[in-house]
Chains A and B, each alone.
Chain A
Amino acid sequence: MTEKKTVLHVGIDLGTSRSSISASNGEKHVVDSYVGWPLDMVAKKVLKKAVLIGREAVDNRPMLDLHRPLEQGLIKDGSDKDEAAVRELLWHLLSLVGVARETRNGMKVRAVVGVPAEALRVNKQHVRKAMQDAVDNLLIVSEPFAVAYGLEALLHTMIIDIGAGTTDFCVMNGRLPSEEDQRTLTQAGDWIDEQLSRLMRERYPEARFSVHMVREWKETSSFVGQTKNPVLVTVPVNGKPTQLDISQEMRQACEGILPPLVESMLDLLSRVQPEYQERVRNNVIVSGGTGLIRGLGPRLEQDLAAVGGGKVRVVKDPVFVGSDGGLSIAMDAPDSDWEKLSG
């Protein structure tokens, strides 16, 4: 007699910057998408671990061969180390929700994983390959679709999911979005970091700062339009901690994503059947960590005014919105569907 395995459903949002997991046992976790291996025996002795993941890896980066294995939301291809890093990240996420490595505690794990809207078939195959030993069944879904499903915004809605590596657009028409309903831009959070770094180097050539510092400044102080409070940061300048006002640079870097973002939004809107365009304009949902840029929602509404007006809703807690959506899909799919995906 075979014992029926307990089934654990999980939704995973593999992000360039952060990855989150939501599980049917109620566990939810988010980790920075960094994986590091100790550089040498000394580092291994100090760190007492074979591999470090997430914030722990970032904090100990001088002692690590540090990898951020996802680029523009996709597994970097061609580097064994990056592929191994993705596997480590996935196993770590699964361990956080109670799935033991190798044995999986005897559970059957069914996962839904989000990938960027315009991921090529082969990118999806890479995800499948990376996860083949970690889960029993896997369903790959476009990230904005997972967000839409989780928010139950499946009809006449536009999702704009602004992450670190990509900005994904998806118009939901009550059917699985086709290629024409989706767009992916590479102007997203990382792009803003690069612009901000460049602008700061131009204005403060003597200042010393890292990409990790820039990322933190953006996450706490990004804005478009006007701000009442100046953005002040402290960095070493010629060795002395110095406070700098980077408000102008922050605004310029953040507003840099607006032209392609607005163009893609209006382009996709123009392709919606005319009778539904107004409904979609009034149901624009901005999600993702970079979607939290202050003033972004009102600014997009200004641009929508040029085509008849609309409403933009920003998801206030975007961390788990993708993985929660994935979990909803996982739990809604019946056993018969999952059985088709065991290959």
Chain B
Amino acid sequence: MANFDRLKRRLVQDLVQENVDLIRGHVRPPRRRRQRFRFAGALALLLPALVLFGSSGLVSTLSVAANPPRRGAAAAGELRPSSSLPGRPAAIAAPTSSVAVASPARTPGAEPAVDASVFPLAIRKIAIDAGHGGDSLGTRTPSGLLEKDVTLDIADRLRRILEDGKSFQVLMTRDSDRAVSLEERAAYANRMGADIFVSVHVNWIGNREARGVETYFLGPTDDPFLTRLAAAENRDSGYSLADMRPLLERIYAGVRQDKSRKLAEMVQASLFRSLGKVNPRMEDRGVKSAPFIVLLATQMPAILAEVSCLSNEEEGRLLAKPLYRQYIAEALASGLRSYAGFAQGIAEKGI
């Protein structure tokens, strides 16, 4: 009986702590026990169709989560925080084992020769940007599911996945339900020396039948729909038109755009491949360019992923499910890892 009372006491204590965190706006990591095994179990039961599809896509995504790449783990061990080169962005200060790239970090005298736009460097810091927040609700379903909540949840899941792998340092532009201007988001990523920037959003399309995923990188567009979408997403940017002009001129032709396109392609492929298994009618809406401010003002390869459509009833229902949001986060993580591997491969080859 005493044991049972102790059990009740502990449960109430945990419950109170959970509520205190809620009041203070803390996002706590969920209590996860044997998570990887459970996820495999969930797939076995919930997604029998995966058997038919083979072992690619989501299965491989999850197996990557369960077994972080050796290379990444080793790199994490070798890496030193950006403080080894004070005042320099981490993209420069945090190379991996590549000889070509590692030398400047270990040889202070070589530092001025390093130029991030010339040398492809390994990915160490990832900025995750949960779209909207606070008064900026984003899109919503009739039942009240808000984009700002969904994006925060997915961003937090993505953070945990990436941090679990020990290969990346994650920067969050927001970790609670608060308003952050697009300018502040970009400035934060720039200031912290993020190597790549991924902004998580949920789409709203006038045609309620439309569904699927699409990923944007910075560039001009003639598509009136994308122009409207960019205008809507840019509303709370904190930038004036005068600010934007030099930014636009500086960015469109840059090397960064190529990297951003590659990053967008890899993330889009991962999203479509993985989520298509749990959402068979999902459409691949492709990789697109559009002038989103948050992509414009960042100084590293940056993408904006529309990870599903809240305007579609079925996807709205799926987005309300934690498991589906977890799949999205896993798919994003897989795409980001692929890009990191790609970037490191180039670095190692010295291309």
Contact = CB atoms under 8 A, between A and B. Distances in A.
A77 interface: yes
Given A271-B42, A332-B9, A120 B149 contact: yes
Interface in A183-236: 186
Interface stretch (A50-58, A68-76, A281-289, A310-318): A68-76
Given A74-B143, A154-B11, A178-B32, 20 more contacts: A72-B143, A77-B140, A77-B144, A78-B140, A128-B22, A128-B23, A139-B16, A175-B14, A176-B18, A178-B30, A180-B30, A186-B317, A263-B46, A270-B41, A270-B44, A271-B38, A271-B41, A337-B13, A340-B16, A343-B23
A267 interface: yes
B20 A341 contact: yes
Contacts of A139: 15-16, 19
B22 A125 contact: yes
Interface residues of B, number: 42
B22 A120 contact: no
Chain B interface secondary structure, helix, strand, loop or mixed? Answer: helix
B321 interface: yes
A175 B12 contact: no
B52 interface: no
Interface of B: 4, 7-16, 18-20, 22-24, 27, 30-35, 38, 41-42, 44-46, 140, 143-146, 149, 153, 177, 317, 320-322
B22 A121 contact: yes
Contact of B149 (A78, A121, A152): A121
A40 B70 CA distance: 71
Given A121-B149, A179-B322, A267-B42, A329 B12 contact: yes
A122 B16 contact: no
Contacts of B144: 71, 74-78
Interface string A117-150: 0101110110010000000001111000100010
A259 interface: no
- By Cβ-Cβ distance, the 8 closest A-B pairs, closest first, are A77-B144, A178-B31, A176-B14, A337-B16, A122-B149, A343-B23, A267-B45, A271-B38
Interface in A324-340: 329, 332-333, 337, 340
Contacts of B9: 332
A180 B16 contact: no
Contacts of A141: 15
A155 interface: yes
Nearest to B156: A121
A266 B35 CA distance: 18
Nearest to B177: A122
A155 B7 contact: yes
A26 interface: no
Nearest to B10: A175
Given A178-B30, A186-B317, A125 B177 contact: yes
B159 to A, nearest CB: 15
5 contacts: A122-B149, A263-B45, A267-B45, A270-B41, A332-B9
A273 B145 CA distance: 33
B15 A180 contact: no
B19 A140 contact: yes
Nearest to B38: A271
B336 to A, nearest CB: 23
Nearest to A333: B12
A245 to B, nearest CB: 34
A239 interface: no
Contacts of B32: 178-180
Nearest to B145: A120
A176 B22 contact: no
A180 B38 contact: yes
A138 B23 CA distance: 10
A308 interface: no
